[in-house]
Amino acid sequence: MTALDNTTTVLQGLAIILGFPLLVIGLGELIERSKRDHNPFTQVLTVIRNLLFPPLALWLLLRQFFQVAEDGIALRVVGSLFWVALIYLLLLFLNTTLTAGKQQKSWQLHLPNLLFQLLRALVVLGVLAYVLGNIWQVDLTKIMGALGIGSLVIALALQDTLSNLVSGFLLIIESPFTVGDWIKVGELEGEVIEINWRAVRIKTLDKDIIIIPNGNLGKENICNYTLHDPLHVVRMYMPISYAEHPDRVIQVLQDVALSVDGIESQPLPDIDPQEYKNSYIEYEIRFCISDYARLEEIKGDFFRRAYYAIHRHQFNIPFPDKVEYQISNLPQDPEATAERLTEILRSLPLFSRLDARTLLELKQHATLERFAVGERIIDAGTLNQAFYILLSGQVMLSLVGSRGEAQEIAHLTEGDFLGEMVFLPGEASPVYGTVTETAKVIRIAPGAIVHLIQHHPKFAVEMSQFIEERKKWIRLAHR
């Protein structure tokens, strides 16, 4: 070895001895900054510093400085450690940049779980093949030949597994559904939560997890509720007596559907008489939802609100054909009797000064009604249809703020009023009246209110003061 070669070797050694510590220090600073910024690549940088650099530095020292032969056992072991660390680094990098689930970062690439696992396997197998063939000088052709013969035996023993694997690849290529879609396979339906090489996992509305082998999916018709269009049509049925006019029934049920959170207003809910039964007309209610996970909740909310609306409009839902009943024997709400309504009106300060004859006329235009939680008794921007006195429950008065948010004005309880804009014909309500606790109210028709104002000036003055007070609350809420 010449003096020049010795000098070159010394310089290379010094470069390794001094250069790697400087790189480690630089990486350390970069890692600390990444930790402060919560950078997802912090762990990748940590693995490079702690696992990849040490065997690489040791290999260079042994190879360049100590002149250890490439086929030496020490150099092979150190080289193998480096490639094992590289496998771990590449898998960690894939886990950071790719995802088989929901994207946590906007720059992440989404892959089906089967392709994601296949990519990871190819990385591991590729690096291991390189280590065996180039570092340990293993003849891979003999291994491949042995695997070729053994694959026939494996294929026969694992027919079902291979069928699921092939079906899994076909599902990925065709993409009839993705994670997050709601699907129906045979009699099973649920949300897809995982697609892997062997099976698809779905979560039903009952929160149960069902595992469907990919091979079975290839043999069944798949109904995707959310592919391309998230809207899903829900069909429900309700029996209403022949005595009720269909146009009125359709309007009431449509209003109920539009009031339910989760039912889309476009397209409009559709209600049609479908069949004439022995004692009733069966109406089909069709509406669209965009969140299939809330299906049961939305249906339950519709039925709950429909119950109150049907009672308010005094619709008759017949009993089954084989049950005999007499209308006169049906129980009557004790609060709905004429005597009780008169007594309630007389107990309220607003009506306490009215004479008995006026109260008698007033109660003839008063009815008892109930509203479900979430229903609106009055709507902002519309004319009040009646004057309401709250007997029980709670109602929140609110308006829409400047940013589109609901802004609470007051909470009404027993004895409070709403719908006071009926005293000002032609003037729309500035507030919403939303039921927050099942409400029972007395509804007084507008005609009776007009009569009161015309024949009882003191009542009109008191009501005018009340309206001005409530308008003052509204002005304060707008500030």
CATH of the domain at 243: 3.30.70.100
Angle at which helices 140-157 and 159-174 pack, to 10 degrees?
A: 100
| Partners of 441 in beta bridges | 369, 390
Residues 212 and 243 in one domain: no
Residues 53 and 80 in one domain: yes
Mean pLDDT of 228-243: 91
Average pLDDT, the chain: 82
pLDDT tens digits along 357-413: 887 778 788 888 899 999 999 988 888 888 898 988 999 998 876 666 778 888 899
Asked which of 298, 321, 344 is the last residue of a domain, the reply is 321
Q: Which one is predicted more confidently, 156 or 163? A: 163
Give domain status of residue 327, yes or no: no
Q: Which one is predicted more confidently, 5 or 156? A: 5
Burial 76-110 (b: 16+ CB within 10 A, else e): bebbbbbeebbbebbbbbbebebbbeeeeeeeeee
The span from the CA of 159 to the CA of 28, in Å, is: 51
- Please report which confidence band the pLDDT of residue 11 belongs to, taking 50, 70 and 90 as the band edges: low
Are 443 and 366 spatial neighbours (Cβ–Cβ below 8 Å)? yes
The span from the CA of 446 to the CA of 425, in Å, is: 9
pLDDT tens digits along 246-256: 999 999 999 99
Residues 390 and 452 in one domain: yes
pLDDT of residue 273: 94
Contacts (Cβ under 8 Å, ≥6 apart) of 359: 342, 345, 346, 351
Give domain status of residue 147, yes or no: no
CATH of the domain at 473: 2.60.120.10
The pair of structure tokens assigned to 276 is 């004439």
| Partners of 442 in beta bridges | 368, 389
Determine what percent of the chain falls in helix, strand and coil, rounding each to the nearest 5: 50, 20, 30
Give domain status of residue 120, yes or no: yes
The pair of structure tokens assigned to 212 is 């469907």
- Please report which confidence band the pLDDT of residue 70 belongs to, taking 50, 70 and 90 as the band edges: confident
- Please report which confidence band the pLDDT of residue 154 belongs to, taking 50, 70 and 90 as the band edges: low
What Rg, from alpha-carbon coordinates, does the chain have? 38
Q: Which amino acid is at 439?
A: A
The span from the CA of 200 to the CA of 168, in Å, is: 9
pLDDT of residue 19: 77
Give domain status of residue 93, yes or no: yes
Q: Which of 372, 322, 366, 307 is nearest to 341 (CA)?
A: 366
Residues 63 and 99 in one domain: yes
pLDDT tens digits along 314-372: 898 876 655 554 544 444 555 556 677 777 777 777 777 778 788 777 878 888 889 99
Mean pLDDT of 190-205: 88
Place of tokens 């829900």: 234
| Residue 245 pLDDT > 70 | yes
Residues 263 and 377 in one domain: no
pLDDT of residue 331: 47
CA 86 to chain centre: 40
Residues 367 and 438 in one domain: yes
pLDDT tens digits along 34-52: 888 888 889 889 989 898 8
- Please report which confidence band the pLDDT of residue 282 belongs to, taking 50, 70 and 90 as the band edges: very high
pLDDT of residue 330: 43
The span from the CA of 384 to the CA of 378, in Å, is: 7
DSSP string for residues in 307-333: HHHHHHTT---PPPTT----GGGS---
| Residue 271 pLDDT > 60 | yes
CATH of the domain at 176: 2.30.30.60
User: Can the peptide bond before residue 267 be classed as cis, meaning omega within 30 degrees of 0?
Assistant: yes
**What is the pTM (predicted TM-score) of this model?**
0.63
Q: Report the domain count for the chain.
A: 4
Q: Which one is predicted more confidently, 476 or 242? A: 242
The span from the CA of 434 to the CA of 397, in Å, is: 7
Mean pLDDT of 82-86: 90
pLDDT tens digits along 105-148: 777 777 766 677 778 888 888 888 888 888 888 877 766 666 55
Are 408 and 354 spatial neighbours (Cβ–Cβ below 8 Å)? no
Backbone region of residue 11 per phi and psi (left: phi > 0; alpha: psi in -120 to 50; beta: other values): alpha
Residues 370 and 286 in one domain: no
Q: Which domain holds residue 271?
A: 232-321
Mean pLDDT of 420-430: 83
Residues 100 and 71 in one domain: yes
The span from the CA of 26 to the CA of 23, in Å, is: 5
Residues 195 and 244 in one domain: no
CA 233 to chain centre: 17
Asked which of 321, 343, 369 is the last residue of a domain, the reply is 321
Give domain status of residue 306, yes or no: yes
Are 384 and 419 spatial neighbours (Cβ–Cβ below 8 Å)? yes
The span from the CA of 467 to the CA of 385, in Å, is: 16
pLDDT tens digits along 160-173: 555 666 666 666 66
How are beta strands 281-289 and 270-276 bridged, if at all?
antiparallel
Give domain status of residue 467, yes or no: yes
| Residue 225 pLDDT > 60 | yes
The span from the CA of 455 to the CA of 237, in Å, is: 48
- Please report which confidence band the pLDDT of residue 270 belongs to, taking 50, 70 and 90 as the band edges: very high
Give domain status of residue 449, yes or no: yes
Please report, rounded to a whole number, the percentage of residues in the chain having pLDDT higher than 70.
82
Residues 285 and 302 in one domain: yes
Cβ atoms within 10 Å, residue 278:
7
Mean pLDDT of 432-454: 86
The pair of structure tokens assigned to 372 is 């479900």
Give domain status of residue 329, yes or no: no
Are 394 and 413 spatial neighbours (Cβ–Cβ below 8 Å)? yes
Residues 347 and 449 in one domain: yes
Residues 340 and 461 in one domain: yes
Asked which of 299, 321, 343 is the last residue of a domain, the reply is 321
Q: Running DSSP on this structure, what letter comes out for residue 48?
A: I
